Amino acid sequence: MGNTAVKRIGVLTSGGDAPGMNAAIRAVVRTALNKGIDCIGIRRGWSGLINGDFVKLDSGSVGHIINKGGTILYTARCPEFLDRKGRAKAIATCKMLGIDGIVAIGGDGTFRGALALTRQIAESGYKLPVVGVPATIDNDIGCSNYTIGFDTAANTAIECIDKLRDTMQSHERCSVVEVMGRHAGFLALYVGISVGATAVLIPEREVDFDRDIVEKIRSARLAGTTHFMIVVAEGAGSAVEIGKRIHEEIGIDPRVTVLGHIQRGGAPTGRDRETASRMGYEAVNALLADRGNRIIGTKEGSIVDLDMEEALAMVKNLEMYRYEVLEALTPSGT
Ligand code: ADP
C-alpha cells in the first residue's frame, strides 16, 4: 500500500563524511522528484534540522555531484540532538517546513539519532518516517554487508601504500602505516591483504607485539624479504608508538605514515556511486511504500531495508578467516 501522505522529503548527511554521500543525495532527490515528491536538503546533519538550516533541491542542484567526494549538504556532529529538547526543535522544524519523511545518510551515530527521533515522534502522535542510508568508510554497520565510502577509502589507502612500498623496497626499509578504523578493522584488513602487508593490527584482535610484529618481521626476513609493511588500524594502536617500539626492540628504523583524512576524500569509485544510487533510490521507495523507520542495507549484493530498531541491534563481526588469508600469504622462513 503506497503512502500518499509523503509529499516532501528532507535529506541530510550526518557524522563522518564518506565518498559517495553525494551520489546518495542525488539518488534520493532525483527519485523523489521523478515521483512528484518535493525535496529539501537539510544542511549540517541533525543540527540543520534543529536550526532550520535548509535548501530547496531541484534536479539541477544535484547535477555534477555523482563524481564528487564530500557532501554538498555538509555534515556535522550535533551534541544538542542527544537531548530531547534538541530533538523537539528538530520535529518543530519538520512541521514548519512540511517535511513528512526524512532520509538520513550517515553511520551508526546518525542512525542512533534517527532512532531517538522516531521514538520521540511516535510519542507526539505525529507521522514522520525516517529512513537511514549507511555511509561510512569503516563498513561497520551491523545490518549491511556494505557501506557507502568503504571501497573508495580502501582504494585510496592502497594507492598510497603502493607508493610507499616502492620507496621502502628501494631502501630495504620497514614502513608502518596507520589507516582509519577506531573501532573496526574492516578497512585495515582489506587494505592489508590488498597491499601484501607483513602484518596488520586491528582492534578486534588484541595486539601481542612479539607474536604480531617481531615474529612476522623475523620470519619474513628469513624468507628473504628486505622490506616490511605493517598496517595498523587507528583503534589497534598508534603507528608512531609502534614504530618507536620496532626501533627499540628490533633495531630497524621504520618510517611511519598516518594516512588520516586523505582516506575520506576523493572521487568515489564506481562501486560506491552505484551502491549509493541504489540505496538512495530504495530509501525513497521505502518512504513511499509506507515502510518508514527503516535502515537500508545490502545483503548478498541486493538492497534490503530493515526495521530501524532491529537493524541497530545487529552486530557485524570481522571475519577472522580474512586474517588467516593475510597470514597464509606472508612470506615466512625458518
Ligand atoms: P556517524 O553517523 O558517522 O557514526 P556520529 O557518531 O558522530 O557519526 O553521530 C552523528 C550524530 O548523530 C551525533 O553528532 C548526534 O547528533 C547524533 N547521535 C548519535 N548518537 C545519538 C543518540 N544516541 N541519540 C541521539 N542522537 C545521536
CATH number, residue 286:
3.40.50.450
The boundaries of the domain holding residue 292 are 8-149+268-313
Q: Are residues 280 and 221 in the same domain?
A: no
pLDDT per residue as tens digits for the range 98-151: 999 999 999 999 999 999 999 999 998 889 999 999 999 999 999 999 999 999
Q: Which residues contact 24 (CB under 8 A, 6 or more apart)?
A: 13, 105, 133, 135, 148, 276, 277, 279, 280
Is 13 touching ligand 1 by the criterion CB < 6 Å? no
- Mean pLDDT of the region 268-275: 98
Q: How confident is the model at residue 206 (pLDDT cuts 50, 70, 90)?
A: very high
Q: What is the pLDDT of residue 172?
A: 85
- Per the structure, how many domains does the chain have? 2
Cα 105 to averaged position of ligand 1 atoms, centre (Å): 12
pLDDT value of residue 332: 87
How far apart are the two ends of the chain, measured CA to CA in Å?
67
Q: Is residue 322 part of a domain?
A: no
pLDDT, tens only, 320-332: 999 999 999 998 8
**Nearest-angstrom CA–CA distance, 281 and 303:** 10
Any domain includes 173? yes
The whole-angstrom separation of Cα 48 and Cα 54 is: 7
| 159 and 136 belong to one structural domain | no
Q: Is residue 327 part of a domain?
A: no
- Ligand 1 centroid, distance to 45 Cα (angstroms): 9
Q: Who has greater pLDDT, 192 or 169?
A: 192
Looking at residues 16-32, what average pLDDT do you find? 98
- 113 & 94 share domain: yes
pLDDT tens track for 36-54: 999 999 999 999 999 999 9
Nearest CA to ligand 1 atom 6: 109
Look at phi and psi of residue 83 and say left if phi exceeds 0, alpha if psi is from -120 to 50, else beta: beta
Looking at the chain, the number of H-run helices and the number of E-run strands are 12, 11
Does residue 190 share a domain with residue 127? no
Query: Is residue 38 in a domain?
Result: yes
Q: What is the mean pLDDT of residues 279-295?
A: 97
How confident is the model at residue 268, as a pLDDT?
98
* Distance of CA 201 from the midpoint of ligand 1 (Å): 27
**Could you tell which of 13, 44, 46 is best to mutate to test the pocket of ligand 1, judged by most ligand atoms within 8 Å of the CB?**
46
Q: What is the mean pLDDT of residues 66-74?
A: 98
Note whether 21 and 66 are same-domain residues: yes
pLDDT at 1 over 80: no
> Using CA atoms, how far apart are residues 32 and 91, in angstroms rounded to an integer?
21
Beta carbons of 230 and 201 less than 8 angstroms apart? yes
Q: Which of 21, 85, 108, 110 to mutate to test the pocket of ligand 1 (most atoms within 8 A of CB)?
A: 110
Spatial CA neighbour of 18 closest among 160, 137, 189, 169? 137
Identify whether 132 is part of a domain: yes
Calculate the average pLDDT of the chain: 95
Query: What is the pTM assigned to this prediction?
Result: 0.96
Q: Is the pLDDT of residue 224 over 60?
A: yes
Give yes or no: residues 43 and 190 share one domain: no
- Looking at the fold, whether 131 and 82 belong to one and the same domain comes out as yes
Q: Is the dihedral of CA 208, 175, 70, 150 positive or negative?
A: negative
> 220 lies in a domain?
yes
Question: Are 281 and 306 in a shared domain?
Answer: yes
Length of the chain: 334
In a domain, 144, yes or no: yes
Residues of the chain above pLDDT 90, percent: 94
Instruction: Please report, rounded to a whole number, the percentage of residues in the chain having pLDDT higher than 70.
Output: 99
Do 127 and 247 belong together in one domain? no
Question: What is the rounded CA–CA span in Å between residue 10 and residue 5?
Answer: 14
Residues 242-266: tens digit of each pLDDT: 999 999 999 999 999 999 999 999 9
Task: Answer whether residue 182 shows pLDDT above 70.
Answer: yes
Active-site residue identified among 53, 138, 272, 305 = 138
Q: Which residues are bridge partners to 177 per DSSP?
A: 231, 257
* pLDDT at 202 exceeding the cut of 80: yes
**Is residue 71 in contact with ligand 1, taking CB distance under 6 Å?**
no
Q: Is residue 135 part of a domain?
A: yes
Distance CA 106, CA 17 (A): 7
Ligand 1: does its nearest atom lie under 6 Å from the Cβ of 48?
A: no
For residues 42 and 22, membership in a common domain is answered with yes
Query: Does residue 138 have an active-site annotation?
Result: yes
Asked if residue 310 has pLDDT above 60, the reply is yes
- pLDDT at position 198, please? 96
Same domain membership, residue 159 and residue 138: no
- 186 with 258, same domain? yes
CATH classification at residue 200: 3.40.50.460
